[in-house]
Structure 1
Amino acid sequence: MRPGLLRAAACGYRQGQRPEPGTREYFYYIDHRGQLFLDDAKVKNFITCFKDERFLTFFFERLRPNRSGRYEAAFPYVSPCGRERNFVRCEDRPVVFTRLLPAADTTNDAADAEPPLLSYCGGGRRLAVPFEPPRLALLPDNGRLYHPAPARAGGVGLVGSALAAEWSQAFEYGEGAGRPPTHFTWRGRRYELSHELLPLLRHGAPGERGGCGDAQGLGGVGRG
C-alpha cells in the first residue's frame, strides 16, 4: 500500500467522506516549503502541490486551529468552507514565508519608507504580513528561522530556507555558539532581537506537525 493510503488508513479518513448529510471532509498537508498538498498524495513536489493563488488565498485566510472535535491530534488545523471541512497537518508550521515583497506595487518614496512584506504559502500580496526584523527568532534546537504570523494561524510562521540562507550572514551571536542570535542587520540598520517568539516555539503551539500513529511526521523535516 502506498504511503498516502497508509496515512489515510492510520488516521481513519477517506478524502471527500461525508460524516453527516451535507458535510464533506478533505485532508491536507503543508511541507516546510509552504507547499499545500492533499494529505494522501503519493508524490509531494512542486508538480503536485496546489498553485492557484486565488484558491491558496481562500484556503489560508480561513485556516485556524482545529477545535471541531474531529481529528484534532492528527490534523491540528482546519480551513472551513461552508459545510466543507478541510483538515490540515504540517511538517513544521502552517505558515511558511517564502518571498519578500516591496510594500507597494509601484516604487516611490512613500513605499520605500514602509516595511516590505513577507509573503507566505504562494499567496503573493494576498497572503502577507509586514516584515519585522527585530521579531525574527532562530531556534537553536532545529536551526530554523521564524517570524510572527497571523494570530488565527498560530502566531508564528517558518521562514523558508531560501530567505533564511540569504539572511544568515546578517545575524550576530553575542551570547556565543549554541545560543539564539542577539542582533540582525537589515538595510544598514542593526536590530536587537526581541526573542519573544522563542517561548512559543519551545513549548509548542496548536498546529505543530500532527500525525496519525506510525504515519506521524512522514515526509521528514529538513531545510531546502
Structure 2
Amino acid sequence: MLFMLCCVKNKFVRSVGTCFRFTSRYITYVQGQSPINEGPGKSRVREYFYYIDHQGQLFLDDTKVKNFITCFKDKKFLAFFFKRMKVNKSGVYTDEFPYVSVCGPELNYIRCDDRPIVYTNIVETDDGDLLSYNHAHDKLTVDFQPDKICMLPHSGRVYYPTKEKYGHVALVKSSLAIEFSPYFEFGEKGEYAPPTHFNWKGTRYTLTNDMLKYVMDFDGGGTQVQ
C-alpha cells in the first residue's frame, strides 16, 4: 500500500492517497520498496520506515494503531536494530526520517516522537546501576551516572546522555521519569529552571545539565537533532 507522509510545522501526519493543506513537504513510500540505483556495481536495497514513540516502542511507521500489541518486542531484534542506528546524514529522507538503521541490504528509516533512544528501566547489578533502553532489557544498557540526568521544566521530560551517533541525548520513559521526580532538587530559581541536584541512594549529586546544549524545545515539547 502506498502511504504519504506530510510534514506540517515540524509535525508529521500520515494519510493515504491525499495530503493536508499548509504542507511544506511530503513524501510517499511503500514498505520494502527498492529504489533502482543506476550505474555499474550498484545493487538494489530495500527501504523500510519505522516510528519510535515517547515510551521507546518501535513500530512500522504505517501501523495504524500503535500500542504495546503492535510494537516490536523481540529483544534480539531490538538489540540488532538499535545497535546499527545512527543519525541519517545520507541526504535521503533526512528531514522526515532523521535516523537510519543499516541492516545488511536494508535501510530502515526512522522518525520518533522525541528521541530515538528511550531509557525504560533501571537494572541493578553488583557493579552498580544500569539504564536499559528501548525495551531490549539487559541486551541494551549503559551505566547510570546520576549527575548526568537532566529535566526540562517546560515539558517535565527527563533526558540522559547517549552516544553521539544517536544524537547525544536520550529520553527517559515517562514512568521512569515519574519514579525519578522525587529525587530532584531545584535551585534559587525554583521549578522555572532545570533542577540543580539529584538524590540517589543516599548520595546528593550536583547536576551537570550538559544535555541542555543539545536539547531545543518546540512548542509541542519535542526535540530536534543537533
The answer to whether TM tops 0.5 is yes
Which letter maps to 1:11?
I
Secondary structure of the equivalent of 2:225?
Answer: coil
Q: Which of 162, 174, 181 does residue 168 from structure 1 map onto?
A: 181
The alpha carbon displacement at 1:206 in A equals 2.6
Return closer, same or farther for 1:8/1:88 CA change in 2, 3 Å cut-off: farther
Unaligned runs of 5+ in 1: 104-110, 208-224
Shift of 1:67: 1.3
Is 1:133 aligned with 2:146? yes
Distance 1:201 1:158 in 2: 10
Verify the 8 A CA contact 1:5 1:40 in the aligned structure 2. no
**Aligned residue in 2 for 1:16:** 32
User: How large is the Cα RMSD of the aligned pairs?
Assistant: 2.1
Match for residue 25 of structure 1 among 44, 47, 50: 47
Residue matched to 2:7 = none
Give the C-alpha shift of residue 6 in structure 1: 3.6
User: Is 1:206 matched up with 2:220?
Assistant: no
CA displacement at 1:198 relative to structure 2? 0.6
Structure 1 residue 11: Cα displacement: 2.2
**How many residues matched?**
198
4+ aligned runs moved over 2 Å, structure 1: 1-11, 202-207
Higher helix share: 1
1:186 matched to 2:200:
yes
- C-alpha distance in 2, partners of 1:4/1:41? 10
Question: Does structure 2 retain, via aligned residues, the 8 Å contact 1:139–1:201?
Answer: no
* 1:17 maps to amino acid: Q
TM-score, with length taken from structure 1: 0.82
- Which residue does 2:39 correspond to in 1? none
Percent identical: 49
Structure 1 CA distance, aligned partners of 2:30 and 2:137? 31
Can you list the C-alpha shifts for 1:49-94, whole angstroms capped at 9, x where unaligned? Answer: 0000000000000000111221000000000112210000000000
For the 8 Å contact 1:8–1:14, the answer to whether it is kept is no
Q: Distance in 2 between matches of 1:45 and 1:57?
A: 20
Deviation (angstroms), 1:33:
0.3
Counterpart of 2:216 in 1: which secondary structure?
helix
Q: Which one has more relative contact order, counting CA pairs under 8 Å at least 6 apart?
A: 1
1:76 to 86, 92, 98: 98
Shift in alpha-carbon separation, 1:187–1:68, aligned structure 2, 3 A: same
In 2, the alpha carbon distance for the partners of 1:137 and 1:159 equals 10
- Gaps (5+ residues) in structure 2? 5-12, 20-25, 37-42, 218-222
Q: Please, which moves more after superposition, 149-158 or 67-76?
A: 149-158
Mapping for residues 142-153 of structure 1, pairs under 5 Å: 142-153=155-166
Q: Deviation string for 1:113-169 (max 9, x for gaps)?
A: x32110000111211110010010101221100011122211211011111111111
- Could you say what secondary structure the match of 2:132 adopts? strand
Greater fraction of residues in strand:
2
Please state how far the C-alpha of 1:4 moved relative to its aligned partner: 4.8
Q: Distance between the aligned counterparts of 1:12 and 1:171, measured in 2?
A: 44
- Residues 21-60 of structure 1 show CA distances to partners (whole Å, capped at 9, x for unaligned) of 5211000000000000000101100000000000000000
Which residue does the alignment assign to 1:108? none
